[in-house]
């Protein structure tokens, strides 16, 4: 199965809210398989469908525990708690990491590939990756989670980088 090119910062598909999946059909099964392969190929710990140009509400992730790759369809954040800062990156903004403050704990709910309601909750990498990938489904990139000053600097670096200038 071919790896899909990952859409980069600046691609309009990353800004669109993703459409909910109404039926888990063969196309969705295939999309999930392609997303998992693309995530591992990157390599990364999470991927949202818009990152391969498909504006549908699907995320895959591997929280580097013993459970391997997991999928959530139409995921929503049910509850969050606490707060913690973590150097976060994104496959759509390669080579950059910024300290981003988010809730430490997240409980999310969506559907599994079998169509059953599935919940995940946790802190650490799991809580972080779930929140980051669900942000993608709302057209939100990690840059928008930065404070104003850091965001300005980040955007300047990204623009310079795009022009081939120094960061």
Q: Which of 23, 83, 117, 133 is catalytic?
A: 133
Q: Which stretch binds Ni ion (CB under 5 A): 1-9, 87-95, 96-104, 116-124?
A: 87-95
Please, which residue, 14 or 28, has the CB nearer to Ni ion? 14
> Is 34 a known active-site residue?
no
Which one of the spans 26-34, 72-80, 85-93, 144-152 is the region binding Ni ion (CB under 5 A)? 85-93
Q: Is 90 in the site for Ni ion (CB under 5 A)?
A: yes
Question: What whole-number distance in Å separates Cα of residue 157 and Cα of residue 167?
Answer: 5
Minimum separation from the CB atom of position 90 to Ni ion (A): 3
Query: Do 118 and 100 touch, CB atoms closer than 8 A?
Result: no
Which contiguous run of DSSP H or E holds residue 44? none
Rounded distance between C-alpha atoms, residue 51 and residue 38, angstroms:
10
Q: Are 81 and 108 a contacting pair, CB within 8 Å?
A: no
For the annotated catalytic residues, the residue numbers are 133
């Amino acid at each position: 199965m071919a790896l899909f090119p990952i859409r980069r910062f600046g691609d309009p598909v990353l800004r669109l809210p993703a459409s909910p999946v109404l039926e888990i059909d063969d196309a969705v099964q295939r999309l999930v398989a392609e997303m998992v392969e693309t995530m591992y190929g990157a390599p990364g710990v999470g991927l949202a469908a818009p990152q391969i140009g498909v504006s549908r509400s699907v995320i895959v992730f591997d929280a580097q525990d013993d459970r391997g790759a997991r999928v959530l369809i139409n995921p929503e954040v049910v509850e969050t708690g606490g707060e913690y800062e973590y150097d976060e990156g994104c496959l759509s903004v390669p080579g950059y990491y910024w300290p981003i403050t988010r809730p430490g704990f997240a409980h999310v709910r969506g559907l599994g590939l079998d169509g059953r309601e599935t919940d995940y909750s946790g802190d650490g990498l799991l809580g972080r990756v779930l929140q980051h990938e669900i942000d993608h489904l709302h057209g939100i990139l990690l840059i928008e989670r930065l404070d104003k000053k850091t965001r300005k600097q980040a955007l300047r670096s990204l623009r310079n980088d795009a022009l081939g200038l120094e960061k």
